[in-house]
Structure 1
Amino acid sequence: MSITFSAGVLVALLALFLGAGVWIFSGLMLVGASAMYFVLDFNLVRIGAIATRVISSSAISWELAAIPIFMWMGDIIFRTDISQRLFRGLAPLVARIPGGLLHTNVFGCTVFAAISGSSTATTATVGKITIPELQKRGYDLRLSAGSLAGAGSFGLLIPPSIAMIVYGVLAEVSIAQLFAAGVIPGLMMAGLYVGYIAIVSLMDPSRAPRFDGEVTARAMGRGLLELLPIVLLMFVVLGSIYSGLATPSEAAAVGVFGAILITVVTGQFSLRLMRDSLLATIRVSAMILMLIAASSFLSAAIAYMQLPTQITEGISALQLSPYGVLLILAALYIVLGMFLDGTSMTVMTVPIAVPLIVQAGFDPLWFGIYLVIMIEMSALTPPVGLNLFVLQGLTQRTMGETVRATLPFFLLLCLGTVILAVFPEIVLWLPSRL
């Protein structure tokens, strides 16, 4: 069976089912079953047995328990006034930096990402406070919106990250090490954004009014006090993982307890908040776990068709450099990001992409961070970039204006990816120290 025929069948089936509007979970299952039945000539009994074995084994993975628990922690925080506290806490700390309060988008998203794990939730939570405040103070809306959309994607890169958990399970890479690997790249991306905002603000001061008042030590102290609850929660969750005291799932449970404690201490606890956060978590977690189960079944079909081996051998025959392989994958992910969400991209491509990058000489741990950045790009890529929709709702501007505002930050993500490809030690240094 040729690679062209196998790949063509899968692409045609995906186009048929997903193009018909079938749910992605159902579409992946149908593609896998159809490929086994029509291409591999498996009977229905054998297909059913494979589906039962693969889906049950993928659904009982202990590592997957971290997904709903981390999502519950993030949703509890999402329903509190933490985003307001973030803005009040960060404002006096960044007021004197060129770009002023625009940096609350970057730092706010960086901090909130450490307890959210979701790009969309990070963008929406921080943006609903910062966008109105920045507009009221005369900041350029285009720069405000672009920085928010770009920094909102840190919800995937700064641990804990749902995308990292999904990749870790599928690629059999340590989730704790993935969390550690994302820290320095996340801070580096934040630094690129801060630097860009500062340079643009210095070149055109009208886009970011300079703060002429005095920032007192007392105001900065109050700001730090506002940030204390969320910083403590970050320290407890990530510290327990990096110190080896807890697995990601156990740390997530501690994080939920900490999030509930914050609501109690700040007087925001209610049974309605707990009920709403639980229901939201169940809905989204069920969707993600169903995608993982369907992906495992499709991966089994792909393995039986020997497609990963054929693709690896085919690309090896082209004698591409390792960076050539990365460039092909980057183009693939940017195109997929125009039509699919990040989780769907991950579950559909990991079975084929991981053997390729291992063959090219890259560490699967490093590739996990590369993949997360590709997913971040997809959140800024029309027509299905989720952060673009969130941003459009916050600013009430057209999609064209929204895309133009985010373009510089999309290009900064591209620059960051190049830096990480040339200097992979940026990703691998911290995990090697744990």
Structure 2
Amino acid sequence: MTQAPATPKAARRRHDREIVALAVPAFGALVAEPLFLMADSAIVGHLGTSQLAGLAVASALLTTAVSVFVFLAYATTAAVARRVGAGDLRAAIQQGMDGIWLALILGAAVIAVVLPTAPTLIDLFGASDTAAPYAVTYLRISALGIPAMLVVLAATGVLRGLQNTKTPLYVAVAGFIANGALNAGLVYGADLGIAGSAWGTVIAQIGMAVIYLVVVVRGARRHGASLRPDAAGIRACAQAGAPLLVRTLSLRAILMIATAVAARLGDADVAAHQIILSLWSLLAFALDAIAIAGQAIIGRYLGADDAQGARDVCRRMVQWGIASGVVLGVLVILTRPLFVPLFTSDPVVQDAALPALVVVALSQPICGIVFVLDGVLMGAGDGPYLAWAMLITLAVFTPVALLVPVLGGGLTALWGAMTLMMAVRMATLWMRYRSGRWAITGATR
């Protein structure tokens, strides 16, 4: 007897359960990353405005140094999930091991570049004479934790692809607690200032990487995957991630341009920008929890040759993204008078931040659509399209942002340009989603 097809309502409930089962733990793990920076900002901010301005510039560079390699997580999630859908767990974990070896190689290369060039990199951002020394100190120390963070990215991708978002949540929570305790102890207890904040974060990052390695190595041994570096596999991982690298470099260029523009508006504006960017990152990662679920679920459906299931769950995730964006926007409006004083007591910085946060709040429904569709296309392995779409977005945003100091409007105008950037991303991603050309099935794309 043939089983009756599921009703639309039953299918929505099934998709909701799938999304929630992966998105809720992913949310906790994702928000831990901006919470690292928020904790650093809160602790360093009470040292003084110059220290906070220095942290703003250095953290933008560090986040870029790590985030340009986010394909270690995203591409690995999609590739592993496809193989899980096809029923080949050994090949799935082997893919992840290749990604971890690539992470270690890239991390060593980044350190070799950042340490000797730190003062030059800080100068390029236009940091003031008072903020620059703090920025250089923080950048040089924190760069030592980059290999660990890249290993965390790759190992997280393995576990997400295996439909496991709970372990990354546990590790992220432990890392956040350790980071906060170490930062407070080293900055104030040991009186190390901004250097203590950097060392605390590095120690926490190394601890997280060690835990991830233990989990992944155990899985590799259980399923017979090799632990040795494989040149061909590492090279294949790098090639698969190249389009996402272009996509991420373009996005990081946008964020760096925004920080550079804010720095030229003055120390108060760049300090306020750092506070807003910390919140924006937190909101983005919260919305990206649905996208992370999308990467894992979409990859699994496509690997199992179920294109219709992939399209159905994508539609449902878009609805989730819009609703979540509305809720987050309302929360920002209601809590912004309480949020800003947590990071600074300087009234000039507070006056710069409060109106810009209104713009951030109004943009959240757009952000909800963008992050969900970005995750869906990553899960489908549609990296080349994502690369081109982000290059278009960068081309639109750059002249608008650079005009802010000329035309006026201050930090609020700058975040208006950021909202325009998200609207362009939404338009390009929506066109691809509607075309259906991303839904290619099979264990590999």
Q: Specify which structure has the higher proportion of helix.
A: 2
Q: TM-score, normalised by structure 1?
A: 0.32
